[in-house]
Amino acid sequence: MEILKKLSSEIEKLNEQTCCFSGPRSQKLPWGYNEKDERCLLVKDRVTQEIEFAISTGYTIFITGMALGFDMMCAEIVLQLRKKYPFIKLYCAVPCKGQEKSWPWSQQNRYHNILSKADKVDVLYEKYCRESMLNRNKYMVNNSSKLIALYGGTGGGTKFTIDYARSQGLDITIIKP
């Protein structure tokens, strides 16, 4: 029983140091795939500030869901910030094997590059199923105490993740696109 209490305490401590991300896929972003768009650059700057603030308050682990768009953008920002903060870690919560197979070639390369630099990669399902994305979002929230979300107010996976994070008592930062 003591071992279980110790393990539970260690997991709780990791959760207190962990922040996850949620936001739209590229095709739902106002700038689409054009990350040189001024609006995207402003969002990247804001995300960088929020991650650095999280680091200053004790967060050292960052979980991304590895979807196109905001998730991969956040992953790359964390990887860039590791140069300044070498103690931070990037964890990737991949919903299912092969999720990237239908993406544009450039995005597949980007995806694999991020995975190769991640500190941990958890693949939740062997193949795509209806629940894989939803359960990936729950997995990230259940293993975090903070959520940084890009959210413009419409329904979808990000709204679900924000609502679920709220129900689990996470600290939530919402950035408007």
pLDDT at residue 4, rounded to an integer:
36
* Mean of all residue pLDDT scores within the chain: 91
Residue 144 lies in a domain: yes
Residue 6 lies in a domain: no
The DSSP symbol for 87 reads T
Domain count, the chain: 1
pLDDT at residue 135, rounded to an integer:
95
Pairing type for strands 61-64 and 146-150 reads unpaired
Residue 139 lies in a domain: yes
Residue 114 lies in a domain: yes
Residue 110 lies in a domain: yes
Taking the alpha carbons at both ends of the chain, their separation in whole angstroms is: 47
Chain segment 40-73, per-residue pLDDT in tens: 999 999 999 999 999 999 999 999 999 999 999 9
Place of tokens 């209806």: 130
Alpha carbons 30 and 7: distance in angstroms, whole number: 44
Residue 90 lies in a domain: yes
Q: What is the mean pLDDT of residues 72-94?
A: 97
Total-model pTM: 0.91
Residue 101 lies in a domain: yes
Chain segment 143-154, per-residue pLDDT in tens: 999 999 999 988
CATH of the domain at 148: 3.40.50.450
Show the domain range for 20.
Answer: 16-175
Residue 11 lies in a domain: no
For residues 102 and 6, the model is more confident at 102
pLDDT tier, 9 (very low <50, low <70, confident <90, very high otherwise): very low
CA angle 77, 68, 91 (to 5 degrees): 50
